[in-house]
Amino acid sequence: MTTPIQKPPKKNPQIRTVVPTLPPASRSRRALAFTVAAAEGRFALQKCAMCGHIAYPPREACPKCLSMELPWTDVPTGGQLIAETTVQTSINTYFRERTPWRMGTVLLDAGVTVQCHVHGGVLRNGRVRMIARTDKSGKGVMMALPESEGENMADDKQLRELTCDPKHRRVLITDGRHMSALSLAQHLAGAGASIIFVGLAEDWRKPPKQAALEAIPQVEIVPLDITNTTSVTECAGEIGGKVDILINNCEYVRPGGIMGRRDVITAQDEMAVNYFGLMRLMQAFGPAMRGRGADGANSAVAWVNILSVYALSNLPEFGATSASQAAALSLAQCFRGEMAGSGVKVVNAFCGPLDDAWRQPLPPPKVSPEVLARDVLRCLQQGLENITIGDVAHDVRTRWIEDPRVLEKELTQIEGM
């Protein structure tokens, strides 16, 4: 059992905020594929296509047969801790501030030995279950967890460095009017978030399910209109220093593409929310979060963009909205670059069609608010950076990874014949 972390005390404004230091960030180019898998929570190693040998650390050629074909492959996560140490003295400033730090050698069932972080609940010589996650440098690392789930396991101080667990953290949900708002607030409250700010534009209009939202004790409604710079700036001025997790669920969705519309007014509205609104949020809330990446148990930890999966590849029936989502996705990549080194993860959650009025013509399976909230919470608790929500999103992203050019042909071809 892991000792539960305590609710952090109110911040003393006279004490300097600890600035984020970082674990080692340099990796070989080959090793970055491990980071890519880790950002999705996959435990992938190189497996020789010729002889099947699993190679680690990352290589250019198989050390058994010198084949150059070493595709990254999900491998079994079981293993045994065969040696361990607790580092008391480290030359790296990040670890120096966090010692003692447990690490060890695990013999994987896949047949290869790895060095990794070790969870406090792992027994000496014990069986372990490996995870791959990105660390505060945004680089993939391995951690050995106890084989079975233990009490308060997520509170392990080394594991919590890899995750974005909402426990004792303060969250901003940007759109209280969105159909996902109530479910998100309920899930976050259940996961131990200490404050859940819910943004509300035009707050003279009542949001749907207002009573249920206000019934959650942690919820605080705040005025926030992301299409209005003054509103965003004022909101950030009020609460920006205590937003540890920001979930942007604002969106503007309309059917149609180019020729079905006679002007660009709807497209401007789409961009006003999906692109410029996002940029306003980033400009107003980003700097404070970037400075608070190591601010104790409730440090700033995650920025979640809920994006349409058609940001990856345009769906002509919602073509103009897809374009604005693509703009948002590109902006998110810029934001990742600017937030790198802060310890705050920028999460892209690619969502399939929600079951709402504007997407009514689209066929099922659709995403319910429940599923969206559950998946976002799981993503935060696990510390992932890229997730899909719903079957359609999973399907589209899988096809996009396989070959984005084929996907483009599929999405733009004429039906029938």
Partner 1 sequence: MSRFSTPKRQGYDGVAVAVPVSIPYTRYSHESAHWWLARALGELVRCAGLTPADIDGFTVSSFSLAPDTAVGLTQHLGLTPRWLDHIPMGGASGVVALRRAARAVQAGDASIVACVSGDTNQVDSFRLMLSSFSRFAQDGSYPYGSGGPNSSFALLTDHYMRKFGATRADFGKLAVAQRANALRYPQAMMKKPLTLEQYIDARVISDPIHLFDCVMPCAGAEAFLVMREDIAADLNLPTARILSTIERHNAFADDPIQDRGGWAMDIDEFWTMAGIKPEAVDFLQTYDDYPVISMMQIEDLGFCPKGEAPAFVRANSFEIDGTLPHNTSGGQLSAGQAGAAGGFLGLVEALRQLTGTAGPTQVKDAQTGVVSGFGMINYDRGVCTAAATLARGLT
In the complex, which residues of this chain contact partner 1 (CB under 8 A)? 23-24, 26-28, 30-31, 34, 56-58, 63, 82-92, 94-95, 101, 103-105, 107, 113-117, 125, 135, 137, 139, 141
Q: Could you tell me the smallest distance in angstroms from the CB atom of residue 85 to partner 1?
A: 4
C-beta of 80 vs 228, nearer to partner 1: 80
- Please give the single-letter amino acid code of residue 232: V
Q: How far apart are CA 119 and CA 74, in angstroms?
A: 22
C-beta of 113 vs 398, nearer to partner 1: 113
C-beta of 57 vs 120, nearer to partner 1: 57
Q: Could you tell me the smallest distance in angstroms from the CB atom of residue 106 to partner 1?
A: 9
Contact present, 285 and 279 (Cβ < 8 Å): no
Q: Could you tell me the smallest distance in angstroms from the CB atom of residue 93 to partner 1?
A: 9
Q: Could you tell me the smallest distance in angstroms from the CB atom of residue 108 to partner 1?
A: 9
C-beta of 29 vs 262, nearer to partner 1: 29
DSSP structure string for 240-300: GGG-SEEEE---------STTSSSSHHHHHHHIIIIIIHHHHHHHHHHHHHHTTTSGGG--
C-beta of 103 vs 344, nearer to partner 1: 103
C-beta of 78 vs 255, nearer to partner 1: 78
C-beta of 57 vs 316, nearer to partner 1: 57
Q: Could you tell me the smallest distance in angstroms from the CB atom of residue 292 to partner 1?
A: 23
The H-assigned helical ranges of 149-228 are: 157-160, 181-190, 210-214
Q: How far apart are CA 231 and CA 341, in angstroms?
A: 29
Q: Could you tell me the smallest distance in angstroms from the CB atom of residue 38 to partner 1?
A: 11
Contact present, 54 and 110 (Cβ < 8 Å): yes
Q: Could you tell me the smallest distance in angstroms from the CB atom of residue 28 to partner 1?
A: 5
C-beta of 287 vs 341, nearer to partner 1: 341
Computed from CA positions of residues 259, 262, 268, 274, in that sequence, does the dihedral angle turn out positive or negative? Answer: negative
Q: How far apart are CA 408 and CA 337, in angstroms?
A: 27
Q: Could you tell me the smallest distance in angstroms from the CB atom of residue 394 to partner 1?
A: 30
Q: Could you tell me the smallest distance in angstroms from the CB atom of residue 293 to partner 1?
A: 17
- What does residue 325 show for φ and ψ, rounded to 5 degrees? -70, -35
What letters, b where the CB count within 10 A reaches 16 and e where it falls short, cover 73-101? bebebebbbeebeeeeeeeeebbeebeeb
Could you tell me the two tokens for 205? 């209009």
Contact present, 334 and 348 (Cβ < 8 Å): no
Q: Could you tell me the smallest distance in angstroms from the CB atom of residue 131 to partner 1?
A: 14
Give the list of residues 6+ apart from residue 65 with CB closer than 8 angstroms, or none: 48, 50, 51, 53
Grouping H, G, I as helix, E, B as strand and the rest as coil, residue 42 is: coil
Q: How far is CA 376 from the centre of its chain?
A: 8
C-beta of 38 vs 247, nearer to partner 1: 38
H helix or E strand, kind and range, residue 105: strand 101-108
Of 309, 322, 337, 299, which is closest to residue 253 (Cα–Cα)? 322
C-beta of 36 vs 114, nearer to partner 1: 114
